[in-house]
Structure formats: C-alpha cells, structure tokens
Amino acid sequence: MKWLLRITVGLTISFVVTMVVVVASFIMTMFSATEIGIRKVGLFGALFFEPHEQENGSTSLEIGISNGAPIAIIFIGLLVFHVAVASVLERLKLHKKRLQQAG
C-alpha cells in the first residue's frame, strides 16, 4: 500500500513539475523567436515555435511538440528521483524509531 501511494504521489509531482518545465521552456522559446520565418526549438528539441507573416500583414504561429522523448525522459527521471528519495526517507524514519526504542 505504501508503494502504491508513493508511486501515485510521485506520478502527480513528476507530471506537475514536467509541465512547469515544458511551459517555461515554451515561453522562453517563444520570446527568443525575434525573426519571422525562423524556426526556434527548445527543451532539447522537444518544442518548436515558428512565426509566419501572412499576406495581409498579420502574423500566424506554428507551435508544437516535435519530439516527445526529452519530455518523457524528464518525467521518468523526476519519478525515479521522487520514489528513491521517499524510500530513503521512510527507511531513515524507521531507523530513527528503532534507535529511540532501543535507547
């Protein structure tokens, strides 16, 4: 039961942090695209942003995810990190409790 809770919390935290990283990277990529017609990529090639000028003078945007692998690697890395840290903290709490009971 503890493992299920740990993994569920880890999935939630990893998803939220990954989305924050993706949005921040997209915003940085968007503001770095100063020239029209030049495709800018961000987050290790996962995101792209390309402004185009229309015939009537307006600007259109082409945005999206070109490669999902970096996003998946960030998510999995955060998940593994969270589960590992939670496991170590749980073992430290158990060790502390044993020491307090023995002493």
pLDDT of residue 46: 93
pLDDT of residue 43: 92
pLDDT of residue 65: 92
- Dist CA 95 CA 102 (whole Å): 11
- What's the DSSP call for residue 51? E
pLDDT of residue 11: 95
pLDDT of residue 34: 78
The Cβ of residue 103 has, within 10 Å, a number of other Cβ atoms equal to 5
- Dist CA 10 CA 23 (whole Å): 20
- Dist CA 103 CA 100 (whole Å): 5
Q: Quick one: which H or E segment has residue 53?
A: strand 47-53
The residue extents of the domains of the chain are: 2-102
Beta carbons of 8 and 81 less than 8 angstroms apart: no
- Dist CA 103 CA 101 (whole Å): 6
Averages of pLDDT over runs of 10 residues in the chain (103 residues) are 87 96 92 83 90 87 91 96 93 94 84
Tell me the pTM: 0.80
